[in-house]
Chains A and B, each alone.
Chain A
Amino acid sequence: MNKPVLEVNHLSTHFFTDRGEIPAVDDVSFAIHEKEVLGIVGESGCGKSVTSLSVMGLVPNPPGKIVAGEILFRQQKAGNEVDEDLVKISKKRLRRIRGNQIAMIFQEPMTSLDPLFTIGFQIIEAVKLHRKVTKKQARQIAVDKLKLVGIPRPDEVVDEYPHQLSGGMRQRVMIAIAMSCDPEVLIADEPTTALDVTIQAQILELMKKLNKEKGTAIMMITHDLGVVAEMCDRVAVMYAGKIVEQGTVRTILKDPKHPYTRGLIRSLPKMHERDKRLYSIPGNVPKPGSIQNGCRFAPRCGDVFDRCLKENPELLPLNEGHHCRCFLYEKEGATVHAETVARS
């Protein structure tokens, strides 16, 4: 496997609100390797967006704050590789990386572009922040990027305003902005959730193309396992602020271990079982911070036993590159239990 370009270790991002401290992201670790697409999946409210905003240094503060952990970004400096901790570096330095080497596209294409500026201006602005270019070059770059993301009539669209474009087109523009400085890492926070299905497929196709042709590593945030199967090399499954399982797409989809992951996969609609009622995991995602003791999934888990309610399971390795946070798979004692579960 390639070297990691971005390594997140023990990241915790909390919100300090009137109702107390909310651990939206709690001790999360993952790595993205060169040219890789890493999926982060989980239900609404499990902390996916906060994780990606943490990496960008864009957590709204107040109320949010990174309280622990490091975000290591690999840089080439004079031929050597150095890690920069994005949590610790200066705001100025972070601004230089943000939008340049790490870029992000957001969940809400309809509202993510400034309505008062032309498309061209908004792309050129991103270019000019990080590159020395003349007016003419900048415009050319803007047109090229629009062409890259498959916008028809790019040299007219540069002079148009966001409200003249559809949601799908706007998301393409967002990708063009994100790609304007050819970043090493692209964070895509549910880039297709707000779009209709055919447009979704086109946007995913585009991102796949960028990953293949430009070698951009992508952190793909989604709650859609279909997107994961389509796009990702590896997947991290998040639940209530924690990663509960991590592995290659194959293992996660074919051989999921954590009861939550299994529930997620069971709830996928399948073509040949059209008549059956769709499965859904009983219960709701707990509010972050509401479960103090024990596994956070325990109240919804079908395989729950005493220990789950008292202790916090660790993220343990099962096989090469496959990790799971569940007592069922601890070496001693629990193996029998796991087998019974697997058989049922």
Chain B
Amino acid sequence: MISYTIRRILMLIPVLIGMSLITFSIIHLIPGNPAQTILGEQATPQAIEQLEEQLGLNEPYFVQYGNYMMGLAQGDLGTSLRTKGEISSEIWPFLAATIELTIFAMVFAIIVGVNAGIISAWKQNSIFDYASMLIALVGVSMPIFWLGLMEQWIFAQELGWLPAFGRGNPRDPVETVTHFYLVDSMINGRPDQIWTSFKHLILPGVALGTIPMAIIARMTRSSMLEVLRSDYIRTIEAKGARDLSVVYRHGFKNAVIPVLTVVGLQTGTLLGGAILTETIFSWPGVGRYVYEAIGNRDYPVIQSGIIVIATMFVFINLIVDLLYSYIDPRIKY
């Protein structure tokens, strides 16, 4: 198991190199001149040339890539053209906001989706089954911006139960340590802020989690239906086991692999930053960070943003793969 894990981590190296090379090349192929962007329309050709030299932009392509990778290896993501700040420190608050929201959304999606799927399969063709599969169908086909706006209208505007925008109360900002607000307010010993941060997560989290929830519910149901028909489930029933143990302990464990795959993919997608949701709920996440950088032609930010997001995606996949082999002894190390 340990050697398998190490092997899998080593196998990531070529994946990450390939991914960064592609990202780097695409950014380079985009028309437009970074030096020009920095200096503005009126800049003289001499000034542009000078800046290009300073930024290393006149070096051959592979040298540039090499320099960039050397920086990456030391945790240096470059500097923003617009703010002149270190991207590695600038990006973190946005990333943390996205990760916090993603975790919240996925926990919601998994708890609701998995249980709905399990019970639907167990009580196949019951009212519950029909109702939850109908909701799941609506869930996958619902435009997320519409869902977000409806949530805001009902729960924020009409009922006034939950905040519609941002991560917390701007007049009482969370003192940031990790930039995960739930964690930070815990560190600071501020239960009121924990509660406020939590409330701010609910509407965007539910909006973001709805599609994964629906997909997970349907995947769980179909996988469970298959498993519950199998011979070993009958063996467990023949032992005299209670339904709950049959369904959850043996049934779900056997049905979980395809569900895990979906969870991994969905988590990866959400971590990429859901620009739509982040915009609707004014959530300061990484999607908006990169989106704004595109508007500003802030090439280093775009490039590093994409690389960071893609790296997280790769790691999520690694975790999912490791979980497979942890769950199923037949998967060879």
Residues of chain A at the chain B interface (Cβ within 8 Å): 56, 58, 95-100, 103-104, 106, 108, 111-117, 125-126, 129-130, 161, 163, 174, 177-178
Contact A161 B329 (CB under 8 A): yes
Q: How far is the CB of B1 from chain A (nearest CB, A)?
A: 14
Pick from B230, B238, B327, B329: contact of A98, CB under 8 Å = B238
The interface stretch among B91-99, B239-247, B277-285 is: B239-247
A97, B240: Cα distance in complex, Å? 7
Q: How far is the CB of A174 from chain B (nearest CB, A)?
A: 7
Can you sample 21 A-B contacts with CB below 8 Å?
A56-B238, A98-B239, A99-B240, A99-B241, A100-B240, A106-B231, A106-B235, A112-B234, A112-B235, A114-B250, A115-B329, A115-B330, A116-B250, A116-B329, A117-B250, A125-B236, A125-B239, A126-B239, A130-B240, A177-B239, A178-B238
A98, B235: Cα distance in complex, Å? 11
Contacts of A174 in B (CB 8 A): 235
Most interface-central of A116, A129, A161, A178 (chain B CB within 10 A): A116
Contact A103 B238 (CB under 8 A): yes
Residues of chain B at the chain A interface (Cβ within 8 Å): 230-242, 250, 253-254, 327-330
Contacts of A95 in B (CB 8 A): 240-242
Contact A129 B330 (CB under 8 A): no
A315, B122: Cα distance in complex, Å? 41
Q: 9 additional contacts, CB 8 Å, given A95-B242, A111-B230, A161-B330?
A: A97-B240, A98-B239, A106-B235, A114-B232, A115-B232, A117-B250, A129-B239, A161-B329, A177-B239
Q: How far is the CB of A292 from chain B (nearest CB, A)?
A: 30
Contact B230 A125 (CB under 8 A): no
Contact A113 B238 (CB under 8 A): no
Contact B237 A58 (CB under 8 A): yes
Contact A114 B234 (CB under 8 A): no
Contacts of B235 in A (CB 8 A): 106, 112-114, 174, 177
A108, B238: Cα distance in complex, Å? 14
User: Would A116 and B327 be within 8 Å (CB), given that A95-B240, A125-B239, A129-B240 are in contact?
Assistant: yes
User: Would A112 and B231 be within 8 Å (CB), given that A98-B239, A99-B239, A126-B239 are in contact?
Assistant: yes
Chain B residue at smallest Cβ distance from A91: B243
Chain A residue at smallest Cβ distance from B240: A99
A98, B242: Cα distance in complex, Å? 11
A116, B235: Cα distance in complex, Å? 14
Pick the 10 closest A-B CB pairs, nearest first: A99-B240, A99-B239, A111-B231, A98-B240, A126-B239, A114-B232, A161-B329, A95-B240, A112-B231, A112-B235
